[in-house]
Amino acid sequence: MTSAASVRVIAPGGTIGILGGGQLGRMTTLAAARLGYRTHVFCQRADEPGAQIASARTLAPFTDEAALAAFAAAVDVVTFEFENIPVETLIALAKRTPVRPSPTVLAISQDRLVEKEFLAGSGFLTAPFAEVEDDAQLAAADARIGRPSILKTSRHGYDGKGQVRLALGDDAGAAWRTLGRAPAVLEGFVRFSTEASVIVARGLDGKTVAFDVTENRHEGGILRESRVPAQLLPALMAEAQELASRIAITLDLTGLLAVELFVNRDGGLLVNELAPRPHNSGHWTIDAAATSQFEQLVRAICGLPLGSAARTADARMLNLLGEEAQDWRSHLADPGARLHLYGKDEARPGRKMGHVTWVSPLPKG
Ligand code: AMP
């Protein structure tokens, strides 16, 4: 007899549908292939990093109903590798095939205001925030939050795009105009001591497994470098992992959740952002964890047992942005470096072209 739970399991040999053609889908495809799965990437261009190596691809807008129906019929489960996908796309797919994480999780995480309201409403601490949809709300938010603050568009922001910092004396109205007066959130500026993240997986059976806390350094809003172990007290790191697991459970998530955190000067944790997908700060897991974040995602959404998240080495991951990826020869010549390139041909400034991970013993620097 087949139990209801086993029906939902997608055994190796199955096909994972991935919405989005970026490097996160590419690395998921590599992990899926190792476990005997095929992937089918739904994106816009055949030369996108994930589409280049998938077993199959659909090149169509996310609103193309016929393409979505054919895609759903061709895959056993659907996941997504970025958040800027219409929720309606996921809802349409979910009528035909399992979608993990769910459309509800996407709806929460793709809008900063909805996400912050979800977190605050569930008792998780964030920076003070206020909604900005018109001039009166902007003035009220500015008065309540004070300066310094950060004005962020609610949607479509990534890698520091769609954000303006407001110092004392800055004109809030002018700042909002630079964001096209799009619906926004005004956040209090957090004087954090450390930025950290936790990636947690939650399986179909509801079990959670968290990776070690990663310490992150950003430049201009873009992740530059991640390190494990983070230089934080063990009790605080355990608290961060526990916090991430509780958020995943509250979301009723199946898949991966990255929780970006600020560590306050007094040692308190504030949630900055959620990403229900593999995360740049978890790339070290490919080279320095028993199971990578990408394999863990495959396991979670296919209903397999989650793997061990045990760290096998200390690690430092450096993003290769823009032209930096052209330095691949020096990284290949470095015996301690593990080079990962995403197959992108246009090296625009700040664009994530690849990354390098050093595992212990780590070089100085
Ligand atoms: P985000 O896109 O919200 O992750 O922001 C990108 C980066 O900007 C973060 O990783 C921080 O370095 C910085 N940042 C964002 N929000 C705040 C805040 N409320 N206070 C201080 N720094 C922030």
Domains in the chain, CATH or no CATH each: 4-109 (3.40.50.20), 128-188 (3.30.1490.20), 192-360 (3.30.470.20)
State the average pLDDT over residues 167-194: 97
Residue 223, both tokens: 């992740």
Distance CA 343, CA 354 (A): 8
Mean pLDDT of 281-303: 98
Region 103-111 average pLDDT: 98
pLDDT beyond 60 at 92: yes
Span from the CA of 199 to the centroid of ligand 1 (angstroms) = 18
Average pLDDT over residues 16-36: 98
Write the residue with the smallest CA distance to atom 7 of ligand 1: 221
Pocket test for ligand 1, best of 193, 272, 281 (most atoms within 8 A of CB): 272
Over residues 98-103, mean pLDDT: 98
Strands (E) in 92-155, as ranges, are 129-132, 149-153
Pairing of strands 38-43, 15-19: parallel
What mean pLDDT comes out for the span 21-49?
Answer: 98
- Tell me, what's the pLDDT at 5? 45
Q: Is the pLDDT of residue 3 over 90?
A: no
Ligand 1 binding pocket includes 222 (Cβ within 6 Å): no
| 250-271 pLDDT tens trace | 999 999 999 999 999 988 999 9
Instruction: Give me the mean pLDDT over the 283-292 stretch.
Output: 98
Q: Please identify, by atom number, the ligand 1 atom nearest to the C-alpha of residue 191.
A: 21
In order, the DSSP letters of 265-289 are: TTS-EEEEEEESS--GGGTTHHHHB
Residue 296 to residues 25, 75, 202, 256, 345: CA-CA distances in angstroms?
13, 19, 9, 8, 29
Q: Name beta bridge partners: 35.
A: none
- Residue-wise pLDDT tens digits, 131-147: 999 999 999 999 999 99
Ligand 1 geometric centre to CA of 297 (Å)? 26
Task: Tell me if 204 sits within 8 A of 5, measured CB to CB.
Answer: yes
Ligand 1 pocket residue status of 218, Cβ below 6 Å: yes
Q: Considering the chain, what is the average pLDDT of its residues?
A: 96
Phi, psi of 190 (to 5 degrees): -95, 125
Instruction: Look at residue 364 in the predicted model and tell me its pLDDT.
Output: 66
Report how far Cα 169 is from the mean position of its chain's Cα atoms.
34
Express each pLDDT in 205-239 by its tens digit.
999 999 999 999 999 889 999 999 999 999 999 99
With left for phi above 0 and alpha for psi between -120 and 50, is residue 296 left, alpha or beta?
alpha
